[in-house]
Amino acid sequence: MPKSRIGAILGLVLKGKRAASRIMLVSICVMLMFLAACSTGGSEDRASRDPADDFGTPDVYDDFSGTNPEFELDNPGGVARGWYENGQFNIVYPARGWWTWYSGGSAAADFYVDVVVFNGDQCADRDAAGLLYRYVQSYDAGLLFGVTCEGGYFSGIHGALGAMDGICWFTNSTPDGPEDLDCSTLWDLPTSNRINDGPGASNRLGVRAVGPQITLYINGHEVDSFTISPVVSQYGEFALYLGSTQEDNASASFDDFSMWRNP
């Protein structure tokens, strides 16, 4: 498979006659709106009981303002585009079946990392976006976790365990070799009611890695876990990726990248 390494709204009508009553109702309204926003996830506000709530200030943080960029920018000769703008990191890739990623400057072994991912405004089906972690640039190898436009989530690998030339999905919770990979791209991906799907939807993706044990989170909720083979690197960088399944410009945007070492 070709690749590029650059690499609700809650509405209340207030009709109280007393000012104190109105103030109380407004206060309740504000509180309920706050709780609704925090519990639904998919925004820059973390959901309640999000693992990151216990970790304090992150060791690495990129607010995607572009003032202190963590992730690399375009290779001028490349097909994909990756750039900081409007407080986000944006990726566009006009090639069906191709994946591209942009590496960050930080690396870790044991960590918790999360980032907000925004589907493209015209995303389709299996257009996918998310994180690479424990990524080793010299081998172009790393683990992937992301979501698709249609509401599935992907956990897999590139460049190791037999996934040398493609993106492969883990078929079980103890991936140890090629027999535990599906590299066909015809994956029957799992879904979760924690995922916000469709064009423009946002989701906060989190990964906790402690030795070979990996736990995956979507909008603050654990959705999967697995134990990776010790032959896969347990130290590496982070990258933001986009996987394109359409001939028009696939796109995704990212915000609020945080990483804690040794959580």
List, run by run, the mean pLDDT of 10-residue segments along the chain (263 residues).
37 33 39 38 71 94 92 77 94 85 96 97 91 96 97 96 92 97 92 95 97 97 97 97 84 97 94
Q: What is the pTM of this model?
A: 0.83
The shares of helix, strand and coil residues in the chain, as percent rounded to the nearest 5, are 10, 40, 45
Distance of CA 223 to the CA centre of its chain: 13
| pLDDT the model gives residue 75 | 65
- CATH class, 3-7+44-261 region: mainly beta
Q: Contact, 51 vs 217, CB < 8 A? A: yes
| pLDDT the model gives residue 25 | 36
Domain layout of the chain by residue ranges = 3-7+44-261
Short-list 145, 128, 89, CA closest to 250? 128
